[in-house]
Structure 1
Amino acid sequence: MSSMFTTISYSPTLSSPTTTSIPNNSKILNTTPISWARVRRALIAEHTHGANSTKKTALGNLSQQHHSSIPMESFALHSLSPSTSTTFSRFSQLHHRPRPIISRSQFPHATPSSLRPPIIISQPFSFPFKPKTFKFNPFSKTHYPIQASSSPPPPSKSSPPPPPPTPLQGAKPVPFLISICIGLIVRFFVPKPVEVTPEAWQLLSIFLSTIAGLVLSPLPVGAWAFLGLTATVVTKTLTFSAAFSAFTNEVIWLIVISFFFARGFVKTGLGDRIATYFVKWMGKSTLGLSYGLTFSEVLIAPAMPSTTARAGGVFLPIIKSLSLSAGSEPASPSAKRLGAYLVQNQFQSAGNSSALFLTAAAQNLLCLKLAEELGVIVPSPWVTWFKAASLPALVCLLLTPLILYKLYPPEIKDTPEAPALAAKKLESMGPVTKNEWIMVVTMLLAVSLWIFGDTIGIASTVAAMIGLSILLLSGVLDWNDCLNEKSAWDTLAWFAILVGMASQLTNLGIVNWMSDCVANNLRSFSLSWPASLAVLQAAYFFIHYLFASQTGHVGALYSAFLAMHRAAGVPSILAALALGYNTNLFGAITHYSSGQAAVYYGAGYVDLPDIFKVGFIMAVINAIIWGGVGSLWWKFLGLY
């Protein structure tokens, strides 16, 4: 649409504006802009006196005053639409009376040479006279009715958005009520057996409420365990010293120090460097890459006893880097090119690498401590644990990558760029730092003392304390690193509480009473001890679908199931070790079954149905290997 110049003339003899459209290509002569102050005074005079003669006189005087200096007064508005004249007609009707119009014809003496270019308005234009004003935007294609008011209305303020809902404070009501009700029902509505004392029955009810809270999580684990501890003291079920007796337990402090060792591996980058070397050496194919990551897990595990730290601090960053370089992105169809297979392999291998060494996972140490509370003493625990687990665990570690390669195959079979990427990363990391060397020497010393410490009279906890002292003295770790390891202190709190309760349940006779009941039921089916071992191990395994923590599972059920094994005639050390190995194997059956499960699932490479499907299949395969190869190996070692 071609734009037009619209000239608007005002004449005192006309009652409405007149408009003249001038094409763009017309030459407009010079015109001096009209003095709006004088126009305003003239209109005020007209409004005050209301007589036509006054109007003519005022504008006549105005014309005479301008006659000598302004030959003609006019202005032009640039308009994109011929509706301009209509808009001004509405303006006339608003005032209900004829308006004086300045017309070119009122100044016949004006000469063309005295004319000047008209005012071209390129932004919203408003008349200066009051009390009635209007604003006009000549560039708007749609013209709205003119607002006549003494002042523009205040801008409307949009109502503020509603405040976000207040987050729930304190305990979750439903899990809290369920957990409390379980204990109350046992305490007041379930008849107390004759063999059990009132104090023992009351402690059992508090313990069951505590375990229910660990599963349902009305509060964080440590907070809920502390409430259970408080209940035992308030109800005078336990004395203060008895309730807090487990806080001096050596094994629990060994677990805490193990978290600090894991922090050292992450802080120095030693774990990352070891894993990257294995990728460089074995990463030319996808299968070789998976074996390289698995072997590096086995090498790091005994000195880094936190499966979550190994998963999140060492292996997941490497897997993500390799996968992205191969075009395998999380939460996309390309995830199965490489990333999904590597995540599944590392996830399933972590259970067997944790079962291989006593110090590879915190729950292993807790298992042996609870066994000791029941009178089952494992001689030379580190060596005995490793010897019994070595053959079945190594067989599983060798077969897991290959089985998953067939069961859950990657789309990319060869990864020739992986060694180059690993070499580039090692180059960017530079040579081994002083802190890494200190970490290596310290861990070698700690592992050596864990293996041979009994012969020279140094307990495992003391060996860990020596290692941590070296790291603090050398500056590899500072005390803030230890303070910031919140998971270590949280574990200290709730582990000690659960161990203390379990120990008191044993002392008060509850565990023996429960194990006798289960043993009598098993004997009613005429089961041999190997069959009882299989049934109890299967029950212990599949109950973990209800748990979100391996250590929580151990604290809740290990003592009871070990007592059941012994009552069914299973050799004590075999039962204690088998339950400990089983605890590691069920860490990969769901996306919530362990700390590393949450880390690997959170990476986004594996879909939830695949987690459950592959987890169940690999659980069956692990059970066959550990039950077949393991039983023969344990017979050879003389465990039964």
Structure 2
Amino acid sequence: MQAWTLLSIFASTIAGLVLEPLPVGAWAMLAVTTAVATKTLTFAQAFSAFTNDVIWLIVVSFFFARGFEKTGLGERVATLFVKVFGKSTLGLAYGLSVAEALIAPAMPSTTARAGGIFMPIINSLSLNAGSKPNDPSRKKLGAFLVHSQLQGSVNSSAMFLTAAAQNLLCMKLASEMGVMVASPWVTWVKASIVPAAAGLLLTPLLMYKLFAPEIKDTPEAPKLAAERLEKMGPMSRDEKIMLATMGAAVCLWVAGDALGISAVTTAMMGLCLLLSTGVLHWRECLTYPAAWDTLFWFAVLVGMSGQLNSMGVINHFANQVGSQLVKANLGWPAVFGLLNVAYYVLHYMFASQTAHVGALYSAFLAMMITTGVPPVIAALSLGFMSNLFGSITHFGSGQAAVYYGAGYLTLSEVFSYGALMSVVNLALWGLLGGAWWAFLGFF
């Protein structure tokens, strides 16, 4: 009875995170209070995830993103690539795409990258070329760049474990299911690098062919970028410290297992360096609501998910569905593909990638394991899908809301090109990714 009551509370929590009758943090408070007040969970069980190292890694990562925005380092990197690649419209798209891929592992918030760095640059370039938002007759350049960045950014997020908060949540949920990924940062990159790089290379070209911009050459863009860089001046002390800190953090994330330093310890050391040098101030951290809001509702969600798993609810459903799949005699490769596609398509029902992960990741992973899919690649593939479906709707992710809200895209364009790129991404990651994973020995 306790397990079914918790399942009801958990389902209501997920519904609230999707529909947002209250802010997500407030809804999480209501849910966890209900669980404790009904004695479904003890206070210690309800708040057990607040000591979770992955959740604190996510919180510290938000502060890193704040550092990138405050120092201007992210804008400098993106503007530099516009200067180098920006002589043509297609070159602009590739420059922005490469810049995002470089920034992503050290700025693990897709929304912050979109709203704080790339959309302002795209808007500036588009307005200079006469491409205005909410102007159907003159928006082709802006629309092309936004389409390219929106669809390409999902590959950047999928390339690195620390490129998006949902990636870290996926690995935590996988570990709670008993799937231990050795050297997770390195293993994630090894598995993702080939299909993600292919997606980053293909997306701007495909958008260029399908959504041809009216302006093919942009000789003014490098000049504008050079002027912007000149206005920014040489790298400031804070930018240099930010760059060195994130470079050191990425190196330790790669080599941390061999050195015995956990990912969260690396992040905490980096944050302490930023605080002690004055790049960030503690008051700025205290007044960064996104980080603390995420801490609370993530911890509630992870805590409930962990208790459902320990009570056997997730395994019960997975065994029921898995047994039917086994009876169908499809074989695990077919089940692997079928469940990944189903997990992807179900995102049309969600307005948050993290809510989707919290609701479905553990159940789908359990079903895969039950039907014989190798556990590590099952966990990783669902993690990759949790990024790739972020561009299928205008509400499916934070970055999608930012790019759509800029006014360069129509709703029909978002859905139609989102559906088209879904087919492309699923085929690319399924075929090229599958061959690469077999080569690496995951199968």
Amino acid at match of 1:337: K
Q: Offset of 1:484 from its aligned partner?
A: 2.0
1:261 is paired with a residue of what secondary structure?
helix
Partner Cα distance (2:253, 2:86) in 1: 33
- The corresponding residue for 1:582 is 385
1:354 is the counterpart of 2:130: no
Correspondence for 2:269 among 466, 474, 483 = 466
- The corresponding residue for 1:408 is 211
Q: Offset of 1:524 from its aligned partner?
A: 2.7
1:568 is the counterpart of 2:381: no
- The corresponding residue for 1:220 is 23
Amino acid at match of 2:386: T
1:372 is the counterpart of 2:180: no
1:249 is the counterpart of 2:57: no
Per-residue Cα deviation, 1:80-130 (whole angstroms, up to 9, x for no partner): xxxxxxxxxxxxxxxxxxxxxxxxxxxxxxxxxxxxxxxxxxxxxxxxxxx
- The corresponding residue for 1:232 is 35
Q: Offset of 1:553 from its aligned partner?
A: 0.7
- Flag the structure with more relative contact order, 1 or 2, with Cα contacts below 8 A and sequence separation at least 6: 2
- The corresponding residue for 1:201 is 4
- The corresponding residue for 2:198 is 395
The TM-score normalised by the length of structure 2 is 0.99
Q: Offset of 1:335 from its aligned partner?
A: 4.2
Partner Cα distance (1:608, 1:536) in 2: 28
- The corresponding residue for 1:274 is 77
Per-residue Cα deviation, 1:587-623 (whole angstroms, up to 9, x for no partner): 0000000000010001001111000000110110000
Amino acid at match of 1:626: W
Partner Cα distance (1:596, 1:617) in 2: 18
Q: Offset of 1:535 from its aligned partner?
A: 1.3
- The corresponding residue for 1:186 is none
Correspondence for 2:126 among 307, 313, 323 = 323
2:412 is paired with a residue of what secondary structure?
helix
Q: Offset of 1:307 from its aligned partner?
A: 0.4
- Number of residue pairs matched by the alignment: 443
2:139 is paired with a residue of what secondary structure?
helix
Note the 1:20-31 alignment, pairs <5 A: none
- The corresponding residue for 1:109 is none
Per-residue Cα deviation, 1:442-484 (whole angstroms, up to 9, x for no partner): 0011111100011111000000000000000111110121122
- The corresponding residue for 1:363 is 166
1:218 is paired with a residue of what secondary structure?
coil
Correspondence for 1:605 among 398, 401, 408 = 408
1:419 is the counterpart of 2:211: no
Amino acid at match of 1:550: Q
The structure with the larger Rg is: 1
1:532 is the counterpart of 2:307: no
Partner Cα distance (1:556, 1:633) in 2: 29
Amino acid at match of 2:384: Y
8 A Cα contact 1:335 1:605, kept in partner: no
Correspondence for 1:306 among 105, 109, 119 = 109
1:570 is paired with a residue of what secondary structure?
coil
Structure 1: 4+ residue segments shifted above 4 A:
none
Correspondence for 1:438 among 220, 241, 244 = 241
% of aligned pairs identical? Answer: 63
Amino acid at match of 1:362: A
8 A Cα contact 1:327 1:334, kept in partner: no
8 A Cα contact 1:367 1:580, kept in partner: yes
Partner Cα distance (1:522, 1:630) in 2: 24
1:627 is the counterpart of 2:423: no
Correspondence for 1:260 among 63, 70, 87 = 63
Correspondence for 2:97 among 268, 285, 294 = 294
Partner Cα distance (2:342, 2:23) in 1: 27
- The corresponding residue for 1:499 is 302
Correspondence for 1:594 among 397, 409, 422 = 397
Q: Offset of 1:227 from its aligned partner?
A: 1.1
RMSD: 0.8
- The corresponding residue for 1:177 is none
Q: Any gaps of 5 or more consecutive residues in structure 2? A: none
Per-residue Cα deviation, 1:108-154 (whole angstroms, up to 9, x for no partner): xxxxxxxxxxxxxxxxxxxxxxxxxxxxxxxxxxxxxxxxxxxxxxx
Per-residue Cα deviation, 1:304-360 (whole angstroms, up to 9, x for no partner): 000000001110111011001100000002443310000010101110000000000
